[in-house]
């Protein structure tokens, strides 16, 4: 395994997790006694051991496990280590960004993470390895949000996160890393608001949820591609109930959803102008009724249905029973498989909904006389058309992933696009997203502008060329998809 050498300043976004590995991995065999494991940790001055069987990891034991599962309960130390080990051991590839490793640990509430390379264990990193630069990234903020007990606390932390996010962006200048942070912050804020709303329902005498449910993120939130300026796009799916009970159950969830939506609004997430929110009865439904909605969109692809698809079909589970969302994706993809003409309509709608302006007469005329091209709406004429194009291809592959770049991985693996085209699309996505984020920050700095227009006059020559190339890439990707559907290639 060859690890790259980094010469620039240490960064959790560009440096890799392997750089935090301090020494060789320490293991212990299955069947070894708890006492032997404790002796080894003491002798080596280490905080964890990977339990292996035939050379493969089957669990992990830490000093904390020894304290909580042995000393605290006076457990016999001659028992095998399997009695106290954690059987699920999470791992990360050695060359992934450090920040991804941190997020993995935070999301799963673990203190140690196994580092692997080419299928081989190469080291272990712990929460203590983050200490030396923790002040530079939002780990402390994530934990504070988890502990927020009121909407006011969550709102204050959201305001704090905006400052931190902007500082990180100015320092790192990496668009995708920033959207990861924004998504993580927004997800945790939403989870805190939902938990608070559930408590309020109980305090108001409404009791616990009548059935199991899942809060869904949709739109840019569902794609994990939110920028610092974003509104709400969400819905609720709950367990099936008899028709005679549906209205009563739905009313409970609508009251709960209104509390959550209001809380999110207080925290700086405006209500969706299109009412794509869980407080809308059309977006607060049982599993079977959501299946009916999705099936109707697929088999009756009218303009209104296709408009809904552009937001609905970027959904993911955010809080609650994730299996409900898994069921919805399974049903949706099956419906598309049985009605492939839907993808043709979705492709036509992609073209009608908006294209980069590279072929309109104003653009071509100005290029001809060597003038700056007209300003570009970076959201409507660049990012949105690119996201729509990638969504069509991902649904063609039958994939439930939602992030545009993860969708592109699936598309490339399926062979729908050549590696050269995929590379160009990735570059276009990164640059367009970068400009979109910069535009968001610029509007917050006392500017009276509320649009998403990017003027070529405000870009340096290199940026201007990159933007022109990115817009052409999006246009050509749309043409490629449309041509393949017209030729019945898909």
DSSP codes, 382-403? IIHHHHHHHHHHHHHTT----S
Q: How far is CA 149 from the centre of its chain?
A: 24
Residues of the chain with CATH 1.20.120: 342-486
Q: Which residues of the chain have pLDDT under 50?
A: 2-10, 133, 135-136, 489-490
Q: What CATH number is given for 17-133 in this structure?
A: 3.10.580.10
Q: Model-level pTM? A: 0.74
| Per-residue confidence (pLDDT) for residue 131, from 0 to 100 | 55
Q: Which residues of 325-357 are buried (b: 16+ CB within 10 A; e: fewer)?
A: bebbbebbbebbeeeeebbbbbbebbeeebbbb
| Per-residue confidence (pLDDT) for residue 488, from 0 to 100 | 55
Check: CATH 3.90.198.10 for 138-339? no
Second CATH level (architecture) for the domain 342-486: Up-down Bundle (1.20)
| Per-residue confidence (pLDDT) for residue 317, from 0 to 100 | 97
| Per-residue confidence (pLDDT) for residue 323, from 0 to 100 | 97
Residues of the chain with CATH 3.10.580.10: 17-133
CA distance 151 to 190: 10
| Per-residue confidence (pLDDT) for residue 55, from 0 to 100 | 84
């Amino acid at each position: 395994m060859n690890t790259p050498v980094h010469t620039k300043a240490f960064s959790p976004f560009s440096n890799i997790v392997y750089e935090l590995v301090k020494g060789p991995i320490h293991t212990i065999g299955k069947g070894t006694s708890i006492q032997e494991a404790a002796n080894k940790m003491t002798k080596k001055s280490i905080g964890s051991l990977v339990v292996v069987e035939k050379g493969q990891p089957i669990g992990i034991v830490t000093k904390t496990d020894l304290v909580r599962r042995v000393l605290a309960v006076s457990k016999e130390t001659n028992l095998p280590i399997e009695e106290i080990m954690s059987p699920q051991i999470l791992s990360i590839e050695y060359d992934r960004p450090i920040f991804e490793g941190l997020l993995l640990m935070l999301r799963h509430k673990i203190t140690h993470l196994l580092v692997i390379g080419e299928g081989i264990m190469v080291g272990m990193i712990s929460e203590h390895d983050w200490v030396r630069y923790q002040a530079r990234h939002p780990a402390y903020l994530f934990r504070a949000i988890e502990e927020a007990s009121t909407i006011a606390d969550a709102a204050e932390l959201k305001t704090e996160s905006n400052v931190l996010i902007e500082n990180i962006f100015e320092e790192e200048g990496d668009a995708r890393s920033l959207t990861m942070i924004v998504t993580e912050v927004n997800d945790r804020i939403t989870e805190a608001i939902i938990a608070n709303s559930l408590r309020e329902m109980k305090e108001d005498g409404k009791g616990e949820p009548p059935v199991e449910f899942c809060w869904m993120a949709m739109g840019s939130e569902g794609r994990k591609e939110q920028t610092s300026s974003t509104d709400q796009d969400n819905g609720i799916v709950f367990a099936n109930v008899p028709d005679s009970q549906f209205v009563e159950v739905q009313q409970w969830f609508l009251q709960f959803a209104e509390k959550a939506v209001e809380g999110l609004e207080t925290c700086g997430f405006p209500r969706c102008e299109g009412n794509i929110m869980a407080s809308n009865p059309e977006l607060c439904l049982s599993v079977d009724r959501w299946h009916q909605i999705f099936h109707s969109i697929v088999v009756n692809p009218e303009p209104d249905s296709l408009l809904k698809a552009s937001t609905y079909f970027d959904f993911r589970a955010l809080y609650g029973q994730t299996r409900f969302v898994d069921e919805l994706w399974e049903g949706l993809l099956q419906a598309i498989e049985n009605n492939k003409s839907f993808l043709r309509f979705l492709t036509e709608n992609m073209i009608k909904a908006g294209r980069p302006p590279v072929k309109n007469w104003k653009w071509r005329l100005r290029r001809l006389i060597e003038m700056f091209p007209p300003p570009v709406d970076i959201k409507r004429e660049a990012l949105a058309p690119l996201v729509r194009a990638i969504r069509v291809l991902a649904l063609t592959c039958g994939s439930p992933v939602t992030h545009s770049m993860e969708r592109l991985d699936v598309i490339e693996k399926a062979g729908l696009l050549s590696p050269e085209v995929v590379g160009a699309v990735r570059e276009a996505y990164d640059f367009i997203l970068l400009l979109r984020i910069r535009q968001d920050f610029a509007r917050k700095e006392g500017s009276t502008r509320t649009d998403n227009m990017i003027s070529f006059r405000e870009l340096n020559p290199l940026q201007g060329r990159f933007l022109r190339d990115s817009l052409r890439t999006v246009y050509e990707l749309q043409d490629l998809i449309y041509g393949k559907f017209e030729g019945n290639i898909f």
